[in-house]
Structure 1
Amino acid sequence: METAVKSSNGTRSSGKRSAAKDRADRIDPYGFERSDDFDYESYEELMSEYLVVLTRRSIKWSRLLKGKGRVQKNVKLKRYVRKGIPNEHRALIWMAASGAQEQLERKPEHYQAMLQSRHDAKLVEAIRTDLNRTFPDNVLFRKTSDPCLQKALCNVLLAYGHHNPAVGYCQGMNFVAGYLLIVTKDEEKAFWLLDALVGRILPDYYSPAMTGLKMDQEVLGELVKLKVPAVWQLMMEHNVMWTLVVSRWFICLYIDVLPVETVLRIWDCLFYEGSKILFRVALTLIHHNQALIEQARSLPDVCQAFKQITKGPFVEDCHAFMQKIFTEPGSLSMAALTKLRAACRGRVAAEES
């Protein structure tokens, strides 16, 4: 990418202005710094097409909402959510679809009450330890930023720890809550959305034993055995545990695994349709990259392949990727998932006892 840019009269601008522009280009719309090997050319090409889609979707969403602050779940809204929620409507739809808005309205004083309650010293220490580790590559979480989201993140996690003492604070929650703050720009909304995820959509993912997380990794293994048997066979041959290659996918809900825009599109559907979306994404990544994974000849090869499949054009084109997750893995009903979870829960319980 050229460092100098043409001004409106066709002459090249000064290096000073160019350097400022380069610094601005290095920060994405969500505050994340782009890596040194970021492909600006491909990104600009992709975004020029995606912006057309976003504009079209934004107009349709505005017509659907008509300035209303409320929505009802129905087939049309589900279709709209799958095609992507514009940023300006994301917090509203996530709150409504997840039941978080209903909880906020039922307990309007609850967040502040939890925040002002006497804080448990161990909880405070655990949260504070992780604050500086949360998105070090995001300018919004730096102490020099104004406002700095670290303080808001600390508040949300402290309040949630008191709201749900059985969970308290668990690894991964800082990244999830941080993303919620980036999108909602509102502590109370982030708190209730975190409650929807931890308490209802992903039960036992963030409990001390992480039983739900372990169980769903086992469920993914069963689904791969069913839908991509060659990959399942390879995993068995090299004695690779699923937790080794997909635990970050599940515990961080694809944060820092897939590109930001793609993660937000996944979360649009996660808040609306529930946890089966996580399996659809995982199965699509594995099925689409089956040939690459099958080239692995050792355990380190398998781990490397699983890192590789979360990078590149396939996952960067979030609109096309999201269309794929609803076609490539085939049918995936909640009834089938419930049945698999029951079987895998017993296996996980037996391993823990």
Structure 2
Amino acid sequence: MRGRRDSRSSLAPGQQNLAAYPHPGAHILSSFVKFPEGCVGLCVPARGKRRRGNESSLARGAGHAVPCRHWGKLRGPVCARSREAEAGEREQPGAGEARKRCAGLEEVPLEVLRQRESKWLDMLNNWDKWMAKKHKKIRLRCQKGIPPSLRGRAWQYLSGSKVKLEQNVGKFDELDLLTGDPKWLDVIERDLHRQFPFHEMFVSRGGHGQQDLFRVLKAYTLYRPEEGYCQAQAPIAAVLLMHMPAEQAFWCLVQICEKYLPGYYSEKLEAIQLDGQILFSLLHKVSPVAYKHLSKQKIDPILYMTEWFMCAFSRTLPWSSVLRVWDMFFCEGVKIIFRVGLVLLKHTLGSSDKLKSCQGQYETMERLRALSPKIMQETFLVQEVIELPVTERQIEREHLIQLKKWREMHGELQCKSPPRLHGAKAISDAEPPTRKALEPVPSIIVPPGPAPVPKARKSKEKSREKSLGGPANGPGAEGNGAPVSTRELLHPQVSPHHQSKESLSSRESEDTYL
């Protein structure tokens, strides 16, 4: 790390980060951070030989973070710890609890976890009803955290990727059989070993995790050839693969790229630049001190928020915090990403005491690169994000303002992206489930009710009754005197009252996956 810093020391403080940041048109992860081989986010492997079997891999979808001592030298997402401090903690009682608090872990009692699983199973088996009538309850339960055993399935329902898969059965298999563009395949292959190299799925070259990651990313380049591949998509797809199979992960990635973060991974990176200005404008209201400092240092938002937003904080936060943020992100949309960024900026640069060691551009950027573990701790971060009053309406209002400024300075956007949908409710309303149209016809045939009689026909029947001295004879003479046609006898209509109960039972018969 010392050599990397010395190689940039010849540049002026204001040019050091700009030199590492490529041109906005470059189709790569445009972050000011340069990661060496085998690096995950800001976690740098320790020097020396690594003993086999000493790594604590993340359980597939279990939501547990790797202990600090197994990551080697740590600078960002997890607490930086020295060997002396670790040795001292081993001698003290309660050292394990202190380490868990440092890493951001939150232990959920087993009974509480089983209760949450039962509630989520009920919601997932009756998803349409819950999304239509009890969306606020879903949001509250996402804020508490989705049970690890159901997290992958819940993400599919929240993002709408399950419906997307039902609408495109076999599409992923077709894309998987195609060769793909060689220019994207080479870049994808070079990025495979960089995604969570200590995770059991991605630890070995050519393993099933890296193979599935390659399949998902290659399929997206074929599904959206105009966008191709962006390096920030790799950690997104890797996190998804930890919780679901490749096909489901692909459609979940499609929903993130098209509904939650449209335009983020396009070639010009125009959408991420606009959101950077939106974040900076919202910071003026949330933390005027941090806003004033960044304005004084002339630090563009694109320098510190690109990796945060494009990777959805998967490279920045501790693992447990990443999962909690993603739970809320899939439910409430991009406002969660904005809130997390604002919380990090507020608690890093939001007071005069914290700015004493950030007198220049370089010092400020170093502080934003090495965030305090206390800020990123799961319980603290989630509570701050929930309480921060930033709404979809504010984001859309700022988007219109920044879009107008962009057009005045740069003209129209070159890469037009679809409108952004804020969360699961907006996606559900925009794309109603197709299975409603495929509901089976009820097996119980209910006799039809009386059909309405035209006025002209009623007058003729009355005159006929007067002339004959009684009601008209023939079919339909009983009851209200309405004639029943042959078509109605052969194909009776089912009343909505009887059909709704049968339809509900068919929806509730969906299997549950643990």
Could you say whether these structures have the same fold, taking a TM-score greater than 0.5 normalized by the shorter chain as the test? yes
Provide the C-alpha distance between the structure 1 equivalents of 2:110 and 2:262, rounded to a whole number of angstroms.
Answer: 33
| Structure 1 residue 23 corresponds to structure 2 residue 48 | no
Aligned with 2:257 (options 177, 198, 201): 198
Kindly tell me: are residues 339 and 118 of structure 1, through their superposed partners in 2, closer, same or farther at Cα, counting changes over 3 Å? same
8 Å CA contact 1:230, 1:294 repeated in 2: no
Instruction: Indicate the SS of the match to 1:253.
Output: coil
Deviation at 1:144? Answer: 5.6
Once the 2 structures are TM-superposed, how far is the Cα of residue 43 of structure 1 from its aligned partner? 2.9
Distance in 2 separating the partners of 1:306 and 1:124: 33
Alignment of 1:45-194 (within 5 A): 50-52=106-108, 55-66=111-122, 69=125, 71=127, 72-73=130-131, 74-143=135-204, 147-184=207-244, 186-194=245-253
Q: Which moved more, 1:223-232 or 1:128-137?
A: 128-137
Question: What is the CA distance between 1:45 and its match in structure 2?
Answer: 5.6
Q: Indicate which of 324, 337, 346 corresponds to 2:395.
A: 337
**CA separation in 1, counterparts of 2:124 and 2:279?**
39
Structure 1 residue 34, shift from structure 2 partner: 2.5
Distance 2:123 2:261 in 1: 31
Contact 1:248 1:254 survives alignment (8 Å): yes
Question: How many residue pairs were aligned?
Answer: 328
- Alpha-carbon spacing, 1:130–1:232, altered in 2? closer, same or farther (3 Å): same
Task: Give the counterpart letter for 1:272 in structure 2.
Answer: C
Query: Which of 362, 374, 378 lines up with 1:300 in the alignment?
Result: 362
| Residue 331 (structure 2) aligns with | 272
The 1:203/1:50 distance shift into structure 2, 3 A limit, reads same
Taking the aligned partners of 1:23 and 1:197, their CA distance within structure 2 comes to 35
Distance (Å, rounded) in 2 between the aligned partners of 1:257 and 1:341: 25
Counterpart-to-counterpart distance in 1, 2:305 and 2:103 = 29
Q: Compute the TM-score of the two structures, normalised by the length of structure 1.
A: 0.84
Deviation at residue 137 of structure 1 after TM alignment: 3.8
Q: Deviations over 1:32-79 (max 9, x none)?
A: 652355667323467998323575144223134249545232111111
Q: Which AA in structure 1 matches 2:359?
A: R
> Counterparts of 1:49 and 1:161 in 2: how far apart (Å)?
36
Bigger Rg, structure 1 or 2:
2
User: Which of 326, 332, 337 is 2:386 aligned to?
Assistant: 326
In 2: Cα distance, 1:155 partner to 1:308 partner: 33
1:221 corresponding residue in structure 2: 280
Report how far residue 226 of structure 1 moved.
1.8
Alpha carbons of 1:65 and 1:345: their partners in 2 closer, same or farther (altered >3 Å)? same
Q: Deviations over 1:134-176 (max 9, x none)?
A: 233434213368x531110000001111111221111200111
Q: Which runs of 5+ in 1 are unaligned?
A: 1-18
Q: CA deviation at 1:178?
A: 0.7
Q: Please tell me whether residue 35 in structure 1 is matched to residue 67 in structure 2.
A: no
- The residue that corresponds to 1:14 in the other structure is none
CA contact (8 A) 2:105 2:320 kept: no
The 1:130/1:48 distance shift into structure 2, 3 A limit, reads: closer
In structure 2, what residue type is equivalent to 1:62? S
Residue 201 of structure 2 aligns to a residue in which SS?
Answer: helix
More helix by share: 1
38-47 or 57-66, which deviates more: 38-47
Distance 2:317 2:382 in 1: 12
- Please state whether the residue corresponding to 1:108 is helix, strand or coil: coil
Q: CA RMSD in A?
A: 2.7
Please give the alpha-carbon distance, in whole angstroms, between the structure 1 residues aligned to 2:144 and 2:190.
Answer: 38
2:298 is matched with which residue? 239
Over 6 Å off, 4+ runs: 19-22, 46-49
Q: What is the percentage of aligned positions where both structures have the same residue? A: 23
